Amino acid sequence: MASYRIHNIRFYNLEPKSVTCLCYESKTKKLALARSNNSIEIWNVENAPFIECTIAGHTENSVESILWIDSRLFSTGLQGVVIEYDLKTLSVKHEVIVIGGAAWCMDVNQEKTRLAVGTEDGYINTFTVHKDKLIYERIFDKQNGRILCIKWDNTGEMIYTGSTDTIRVWSTTSGHAIHKMITSKNNIKEKTIVWCLAVTDDNIIISGDSLGFLSFWDPHMGVLIESHESHTADILAITLSHDMNVVYCAGVDPVVRSFCKIIMKSSGKPQWVKGIERRLHVHDVRALAEANGKLYSAGVDGYLAVSSYPPKNLVKYPPLLQSPCAIICRKSRCILLRYRNYLELWRLGSVTKDPPELVRSSMMHQLDEEPIKLLQLQTKGDESIISCAINKDSKTIVYSTDTHVRVFNFDVVEGDAMLSRNDTDLSMKRIQKMLFSPNGKLFVAINNNGNENTVTLFKVDKKNLSLIGSFETTKESIENISLVCFSPDNKYLVCADRQCRIAVYFIGDGITAESLKAWRLPKYSCPATAIAVQKNTLNLVIVYSNHKIVEYNILTKSYTEFSNHLQSRLSKQWLARPFPITNIIFDPRNENIIIMQDDLSVFIINKSSELSEKEAKIFKRENGESAEDSNSISSSQSQHTFQVVKKYKHLVYLNWLNDEELVAVEINPTSLLEKLPPTLKQKFFGI
């Protein structure tokens, strides 16, 4: 049994960004999530939810509402425009100006042919949805005060809006308000703000307001049907279940409460009664979405919570950046940490190698040298970083934003950090994916211009980057590359895209039209969440979002015997895990050991052990006193194929520093909560 030392890095001090809105697309099973820094994350929630791609935020923009129209994504905000995004280039595709100042809300009709936008000055703008653009249709009568929420009815003949003290029913034919319904007040001088609306299948309006009332309105008569004081503070979000029989609401009072629709025996009329309530968040809940029996909720704490009942279940996904968030530099013993708008380079600490007889599992090692922050590199104009890379000796650093690419030379001379701008012109305004080869002699930049995906190779000569050539991935049908990795021998480049396709490219020392060889792996129904190639064997290990594991040998271009046996023997417990695998590494001393990580755990797969049955549980390794306190991972030779080491809360990154030391980057949930504003003060019984 071999043991390894682990550097547990806890100085990755990421600031959580609150979630402002959510929108679910049922056909593609994608969830769009907008954050307070105006970035938009596209989550694939078909299996284990994971961030598929991220549209970088800009300080001059604002995202107050997001909306799917089939597979097209739109947003609007305080800049007063409706934006359509290109999900291939992850940038703005079209912009349409809205009349009436800042835009707060928008909605699309059931046929998805017309879009309505509510503005600061009290105007409703409608647009017709065409294949490649939005065309302005008309403007409705001006109302007093801003429009904060808007919904279409089921027929497309009426629009409902919520604002201060009022809910209005509008005719889409005339553009006039048909009904004006006044909300209740606690005090005549205080205003009641209608924050959110929902519409049932029988066109009943449901509203949530600043007094914590959940109200049901008849739009045909313009009257209140029933009202429930469900919360002690503002209701900011409402959503309906797919069958329209359950409404969920939450807000500044973060308890998610449900109301169920029943039919009264005496009158035969429907009535909404209070159902279950769950405290899924501690801070304000700003967005709710329901899909396939699961409730997605998010808010000020930045976590995406996925809950269901019955059975009672809750999984919370932390507000982390899309992987990779860290890059290890083995030669210089440094690690590059990526934040939203800056990079940090740290030199790791070192320890004295203890005699073998003194080493025991889970022991804490005293550092001879403390970690040192060598560099903090801020982006120009505080733009968001979309990709970054660093060479193994940490002497070349590259990063890209949406508008520029920067190359820097870095070195430590006589204890002083020296950073200089590299004049290399990469002839690119932005790079979506980038990485250096393991030997540091090649640099790869990957871009999608909307029509084709281009992979460009540069030769690294000391501190200079010189262009070798480029190739398109069209022939292999690789469109939007989400994962990319080199083989350890630097000869093969593996690319996986969001459409579940994976291709292997033989690049050798460079590329020419004659030397480039490529082939595709068999397509699977789910996208990959992690890929890695093993040294010597050149086995490509792939883990998909449904936790299926395959091992493919690049040299023989076939699946390995272990992979073929594994498919029918994966345990139900493994397949049911809620977190996706985000990283794969290999034991440098044992070719039969594969190490994987997700947000909570480190998994060890021993290929030499006999595969267990589907019903078998994953063996939990107890390292020393407790797996929670362990500072070493042992590659076990036991009879268990799958083993789990439960060590972390939010494990961001795991990789080898050398053959004897691992680096684990984690974020303590408490450090995230410390950066949040205070919560709503409530008095509880006995407290």
Mean pLDDT for the chain? Answer: 91
Residues 8 and 626: their CA atoms lie apart, in Å, by 16
Q: Which residue has the higher pLDDT, 367 or 577?
A: 577
- pLDDT at position 636 is 47
Same domain for 6 and 72? no
Same domain for 3 and 51? no
| Pair 640, 243: CB distance under 8 Å | no
Domain tally, the chain: 3
- pLDDT at position 489 is 94
- Quick check: 257 pLDDT over 90? yes
Of 118, 16, 140, 17, nearest in space to 67 by CA: 118
Residues 339 and 382: their CA atoms lie apart, in Å, by 11
Place of tokens 């994971």: 50
Amino acid 521 reads L
Last residue of a domain, one of 266, 297, 317: 317
Same domain for 104 and 146? yes
Residues 340 and 307: their CA atoms lie apart, in Å, by 28
pLDDT tens readout for residues 383-407? 999 999 999 999 999 999 999 999 9
- Quick check: 627 pLDDT over 50? no
Terminal-residue alpha carbon distance, the chain: 51
Contacts of 325 (CB under 8 A, 6+ apart): 12, 14, 337, 338, 652, 653, 665
Same domain for 466 and 530? no
pLDDT tens readout for residues 503-530? 999 988 667 656 688 999 999 999 999 9
- pLDDT at position 361 is 59
Residues 336 and 343: their CA atoms lie apart, in Å, by 7
Same domain for 328 and 294? no
- Which CATH number belongs to the domain containing residue 306 in this structure? 2.130.10.10
Is there a domain that residue 363 lies in? no
Amino acid 625 reads E
Is there a domain that residue 427 lies in? yes
Residues 249 and 216: their CA atoms lie apart, in Å, by 13
Q: What is the mean pLDDT of residues 490-510?
A: 91
Same domain for 335 and 277? no
Is there a domain that residue 685 lies in? no
> pTM value?
0.93
- Quick check: 104 pLDDT over 90? yes
Is there a domain that residue 368 lies in? no
As given in the structure block, the two tokens for residue 477 are: 């049908």
- pLDDT at position 625 is 40
Same domain for 211 and 107? yes
Is there a domain that residue 184 lies in? yes
Burial 13-45 (b: 16+ CB within 10 A, else e): ebebbbbbbbbbbeeeebbbbbbbbbbbbbbbb
Is there a domain that residue 500 lies in? no
Contacts of 362 (CB under 8 A, 6+ apart): 623, 624, 625, 626, 629, 630, 631, 632
Of 558, 552, 544, nearest in space to 500 by CA: 544
Domain membership of residue 530 as a residue range: 1-13+524-621+638-680
pLDDT tens readout for residues 131-161? 989 999 999 999 999 999 999 999 999 999 9
Q: What is the mean pLDDT of residues 246-275?
A: 94
Last residue of a domain, one of 473, 492, 510: 473
Q: What is the mean pLDDT of residues 90-105?
A: 95
Is there a domain that residue 172 lies in? yes
Is there a domain that residue 630 lies in? no
Same domain for 584 and 455? no
569-575 CB contacts, 8 Å cutoff, 24+ apart: 569/611, 569/612, 569/613, 569/614, 570/614, 571/612, 571/613, 571/614, 571/615, 571/616, 571/617, 571/618, 571/642, 572/614, 572/615, 573/616, 573/617, 573/618, 574/547, 574/618, 574/642, 575/546, 575/547, 575/548
| Pair 307, 250: CB distance under 8 Å | no
Q: What is the mean pLDDT of residues 606-622?
A: 79
624 falls in which pLDDT band (50, 70, 90)? very low
Q: What is the mean pLDDT of residues 411-437?
A: 89
Under DSSP, the state recorded for 386 is: -
Same domain for 544 and 449? no
Same domain for 199 and 170? yes
- Quick check: 650 pLDDT over 70? yes
* Percent over 70 (pLDDT), the chain: 94
Q: What is the mean pLDDT of residues 333-337?
A: 96
As given in the structure block, the two tokens for residue 40 are: 């938009």
Beta strand 642-646 with 619-620 is: parallel
Same domain for 433 and 572? no
Residues 236 and 59: their CA atoms lie apart, in Å, by 24
Same domain for 92 and 57? yes
